[in-house]
Each structure stands twice: as C-alpha cells, then as structure tokens.
Amino acid sequence: MKKFRIFISGIVILTLFSCADTDNDSPKDNFDQQAMLSNLSENIFLPNYALLESEVEDFILRWEAFKRIKNEANFIQLSEQFKEVYHSYQKVNYAEFGPAADVSLRNNLNTFPTDTAAIINNIQSGNLTINTLGSFDQKGLPAIDYLLFSKSTSATVNLFNDAKYVTYMDTLVDDINYRVKSTNNSWKSSYAGTFSNKIGSDIGSSIGILTNAWNQHYERNYRDGKIGIPLGIRSLGLPLPEKAEAYFSGISTSLAIKNLIEMEALYLGIGNDGINRSSFDDYLLAIDAQQLDSRIKTQFTAAEEALKRIESGELSEQIKNNPAAVESAYQELQKLILLIKVEMPSRLGILITYQDNDGD
C-alpha cells in the first residue's frame, strides 16, 4: 500500500508541475448558459415571433381592406405589407425547433419554388385542402408571392374579382395566421421557460437544439435554398433562377441579406431593442476562443458585403447577367458554414448527433 501511495503522490506532483509549466491557469468565470438562453428567448425569439404575428395581422387587415375595395391603392398597401411579413419571417426561420417545429412552420410558410400549376388547379377546382404533406408547395408565402406578383398590378387586382381567387387567398392567409399564432403562443406560454432552463451542450439541450437547427437552416435553406439552388449547384451546374425565394416579387436578395443579419444578431445576442447581450460570441470568449469569435464576425461581414454587391435588381437577373458575383457571394456564405457548423460546435462541445461516440 505504501508504494501505491508514493505512486499516487507522484502523479499529483507531476500533474501540478505540468500545469505550472505549460499553461497559466487563469481562473475564469464560468459561462452562464442560462443567462444566454434567457437573453435569446426574451430579447430575440419572443419579440421576433410577436413581430411576425403582428405583421401577419397587419397583412390580414390590408387583405380585408382590399377585399372590400379592390383598387390599385389597396393592392399596393397589401403587397407592400406582404414584403414586411416575408422580411419578418427571416427573423425566425432559423429557429425551426420547439413550437415552430410542432406546426412545421418552415414547410408550411416557406416551401419554394411554389407549384404554380397546382395552385391554379386548386383555385379552379375549389380544392382548399392544403394541409397535406404534398401541398407544402401550394401554400404559404411563396404561393401568395405568386398570386400577388406574377402579373401586372392591374391584372392582379382584376384577378381577385374572381371569388375563387379570394377564397384560396383566404385559405392561405388563415393557415399562415394559425401557424404563426400557435408558435408565438407556445413560446409565450411555456416554451420560453423550457428553452431557458435546458442548459448543457448535449443533444437535448437548448444550445444543442438551437445550434443544430440553425446550422441545418443555414446549410440547406439558406445557403442552398436561397442562393445555391438558383445558381445551379444542385442541377449539374445549370442555373435555375426561377427557383429563387420570392421569385415573383423579386425580393430574394433583400430577404437573404435580412436573414443573414438576423443570424448574425443571434450569434451576437443583439435583441430587438438593439442591445447586445449574452450569446454564442460571449460563450466563445468565455472559453478563450477569441480568434474564432473574430473570424466568425469577420466572415459575417464579408458575406453581407458579398450579398450587397448583388442587391440591385432581382436575384434571377443577377444569376443570368452577373453569375460571377453571385458565385462569389455563395463562396462567402460557404466559408461561414465551416465556422458555425464545424469550428464553433467543436469548441463549445456541442453534440450534433445523438449516437454513441468514443471520440474518434
């Protein structure tokens, strides 16, 4: 037993020496995950969902007004408010988990490209069952984008003199309203608390859930959906500009920039009041990953600038006439993935799969 004790003391002494030699053991404050989660939920998610809900309500008011008096002035009000709704949706689309996932907010609100032939067919045949898995591409914001923007203003106003169009539009609006309200209510009533309290970094923790949802959105719905697919990355290099988000209203790039700014706000913890509080950047600083933090910030800026270079005119036009600039924006978005999907979770110890792993 004596030898064993000497042996153990040896280990302890060696260990202490190794610390002294190689690393200054600066006692740092533990990062308060709960503060971060509370901030995200109180200052970002709750106000963002509330904003989306109120924008949708505004849209409904204008839709009702337009239904009463179908003139161009009311239509312009309606279509401008539609763009507000679409932009405010960019504040929540990366958070497809919890209440949003419960109502499949993304699939129901923003599946694009929308199936224009099926929509016309639904309208003409009076088919209002848009709650099936197969009808995601006949509803939501892209369907309204098609109905409001595919024709000239006067032709569109005229279109809604056909009661079938009004009925279909009513169905689309009701569905969006229901899902947005349901999401917002769940967040307000219970999920905000659940979210703030599930600390940790495992697969079921809020940071794990958020990071995974955010990355999945960024990779598939943002980089690919908004830019990559119209650019032709999934079609053997053949551009498909008609697959852009909000193709008919032509606000694709504006939505993409908005979305990126919102994801940056998430990363930085900037609330709707503009105040920067605890979030991923502070978490990285707390574990001494300043360099990674600054690279992420720099890359957000670079990606925004690249997107702004293709901001003028419609994305579909830019893809046809200025493909190199769109390609360069895509590459800048690509670089950010590496940072937020690979390096950040790796440094923060966030698990991205639930499977057993022995670290190799």
Binding footprint of another protein on the chain (CB under 8 A)? 1, 4, 11, 14-16, 18-19, 22-23, 25-28, 30-31, 33-34, 199-203, 219-220, 224, 228, 232-238, 287, 289, 291-292, 295, 334, 337-338, 341-343, 345-360
Residues 360, 341: Cα–Cα separation, whole Å: 18
Tell me whether residue 309 or residue 335 sits nearer to another protein (CB atom): 335
Tell me whether residue 226 or residue 341 sits nearer to another protein (CB atom): 341
What HEC string does 270-323 produce? ECCCCCECCCHHHHHHHCCCHHHHHHHHHHHHHHHHHHHCCCCCCHHHHHHHCH
Question: Whose structure tokens read 């609330």?
Answer: 271
Angle CA 32–204–188, to nearest 5 = 70
C-beta of 38: minimal distance to another protein in Å? 14
CA 155 to the chain's CA centroid: 33
Q: Hey, which bits of 128-247 come out as E strands?
A: none
Tell me whether residue 139 or residue 341 sits nearer to another protein (CB atom): 341
Angle CA 110–116–118, to nearest 5 = 100
**Which has the closest alpha carbon to 80: 143, 153, 135?**
153
Instruction: Say whether the peptide bond before residue 113 is cis (omega within 30 degrees of 0).
Output: yes
C-beta of 351: minimal distance to another protein in Å? 6
C-beta of 75: minimal distance to another protein in Å? 39
C-beta of 26: minimal distance to another protein in Å? 8
Tell me whether residue 3 or residue 68 sits nearer to another protein (CB atom): 3
C-beta of 201: minimal distance to another protein in Å? 5
C-beta of 176: minimal distance to another protein in Å? 27
Tell me whether residue 26 or residue 125 sits nearer to another protein (CB atom): 26
What's 228's DSSP letter? I
Tell me whether residue 297 or residue 347 sits nearer to another protein (CB atom): 347
